[in-house]
Amino acid sequence: MTARTLHPAPSAPSAAPPASPDARPSARPRQIRWLLRLHRPALYSWAALVLVLAAGLLWLGGPLTDAAAEGWRQFSACGMAEACAYDQPAILRYRDFYLYATIAVLAVPFLVAAWAGTMLTGRELETGTAGLAWTQSVTPARWLAARLLVPAALVTAGTGLLAGLHHYVWSAGRGRIDTAKSWYDSSTFFANGPVPVALALTGLAVGALAGLLWRRSLPALITSVAATGGVFVALHRALPYLWPTVHRVSSLKLDTPAGVGLSAHSGVVTSSGEQLPQPWCGSSVSPQCRAVYEKLDAVGYFRDYHPFSHHWPLQLTATAVVLALGALLTLAAFRVLRARTGAVRGMKTAA
């Protein structure tokens, strides 16, 4: 009988140890990747818009400004000559492109609000994409946070770049181009600092809130754009009162009250110190206007205004006010989401 050598049976491969919870990628990076993939067309469109506008602003602040400044130098050198050759097309070209660039920068908050109301929240709720995400171990609050934080970073970077370049364009033409806009021109002021960034972030919050309230794209679009326009108009009206003004009294012999800048109030001052609205008559050198002022007992003009030194205080104060409003709207969006999702979960539990 032949002895057989017994070999131990090969042991089964041991099961791999379970992955630790720490090794699993967090939900937030997955949310960011999914968000960027879902809104890839909007991301590409935003990048293209920023790059095109940035290139246009650099061209406007460089060659176009230099050509327009040279045209004005030629015009000034003409003096009183009847026949004068100067580069008028360059002057007109600068004026037109400056207007277009300013409108484009100011339109960014409205575009952000429209996109946020339609594509960011409204469409995802309308099509059920948001509900699907909430079933994939993603809480509604984390879902909304990802949809606000990522666009907010991209909007801040892009809008900040455009606003900075617009200020560069305006600074390049200041003192060189006779028809350059003043710093207190409404459109120029709002495009010339951090205010467009704050308006764009507030537009993002407005759009997200509108999408959560309507749960449909078209109503959210209309509401977002209208609400952003309302914020812009309210800020325009409140701007002169966001910072203490300079009070100046001048002679009635002038055509208008003295003081160049952003005006808050103006009128005439009586001998008793009372301030009355401006009758808009003109200089007291005119007999008709002198009679009007004597009837009012006016002894001088007054104007409460902001000089150029108030440009940055007004910019920063306006930015802070708009950002505070945006923060309140963001909080409201989370409250609305919590109320909506809480009610839905309560109904499912009862069922």
Give the pair of three-digit tokens for residue 237. Answer: 């009206």
Q: Are residues 148 and 295 in the same domain?
A: no
Is residue 244 pLDDT above 50, yes or no? yes
Query: Which pLDDT score is estimated for 4?
Result: 46
pLDDT category at 349 given cuts 50, 70, 90 is very low
**Residue 332 lies inside a defined structural domain of this protein:** yes
Q: Are residues 145 and 44 in the same domain?
A: yes
Q: Are residues 201 and 304 in the same domain?
A: no
- Is the Cα torsion angle 45, 51, 55, 57 positive or negative in sign? positive
Domain count of the chain?
A: 2
Tell me if 121 sits within 8 A of 212, measured CB to CB. yes
Give me the domain span that covers residue 290: 246-309
pLDDT category at 317 given cuts 50, 70, 90 is very high
Query: Which pLDDT score is estimated for 25?
Result: 45
Segment among 124-133, 201-210, 325-334 with least mean pLDDT = 124-133
Tell me if 224 sits within 8 A of 115, measured CB to CB. no
Q: Are residues 250 and 333 in the same domain?
A: no
Q: Are residues 189 and 228 in the same domain?
A: yes
Give the pair of three-digit tokens for residue 131. Answer: 């509900």
CA distance 202 to 275: 38
Tell me if 119 sits within 8 A of 208, measured CB to CB. no
Query: Which pLDDT score is estimated for 1?
Result: 41
**Residue 232 lies inside a defined structural domain of this protein:** yes
pLDDT in tens, 320-331: 999 999 999 999
Q: Are residues 111 and 214 in the same domain?
A: yes
Q: Are residues 54 and 142 in the same domain?
A: yes
Q: Are residues 305 and 315 in the same domain?
A: no
**Residue 33 lies inside a defined structural domain of this protein:** no
DSSP track, 46-77? HHHHHHHHHHHHHHIIIIIHHHHHHHHHHHHH
Cα distances (angstroms) measured from residue 149 to each of 14, 185, 305 = 44, 33, 38
**Residue 13 lies inside a defined structural domain of this protein:** no
Q: Are residues 156 and 266 in the same domain?
A: no
Q: Are residues 338 and 236 in the same domain?
A: yes
pTM for the complete prediction? 0.85
Query: Which pLDDT score is estimated for 203?
Result: 96
pLDDT category at 12 given cuts 50, 70, 90 is very low
Query: Which pLDDT score is estimated for 245?
Result: 97
Q: Are residues 105 and 192 in the same domain?
A: yes
Cα distances (angstroms) measured from residue 56 to each of 94, 104, 264, 297, 348 = 12, 11, 34, 54, 54
Mean pLDDT of 254-273: 94
Burial 66-99 (b: 16+ CB within 10 A, else e): eebbebbebbeeeeeeeeeebbeebbebbbebbe
**Residue 26 lies inside a defined structural domain of this protein:** no
Burial, 279: exposed, middle or buried (Cβ in 10 Å; 0-12, 13-18, 19+)? middle
Query: Which pLDDT score is estimated for 134?
Result: 79
Is residue 351 pLDDT above 80, yes or no? no
* DSSP helix/strand/coil, 157: helix
**Residue 32 lies inside a defined structural domain of this protein:** no
**Residue 116 lies inside a defined structural domain of this protein:** yes
Is residue 3 pLDDT above 60, yes or no? no
Range among 29-43, 135-149, 174-188, 332-346 with highest mean pLDDT value: 174-188
Q: Are residues 156 and 270 in the same domain?
A: no
**Residue 23 lies inside a defined structural domain of this protein:** no
Segment among 2-16, 57-71, 196-210 with least mean pLDDT = 2-16
pLDDT above 70 covers what percent of the chain?
Answer: 87
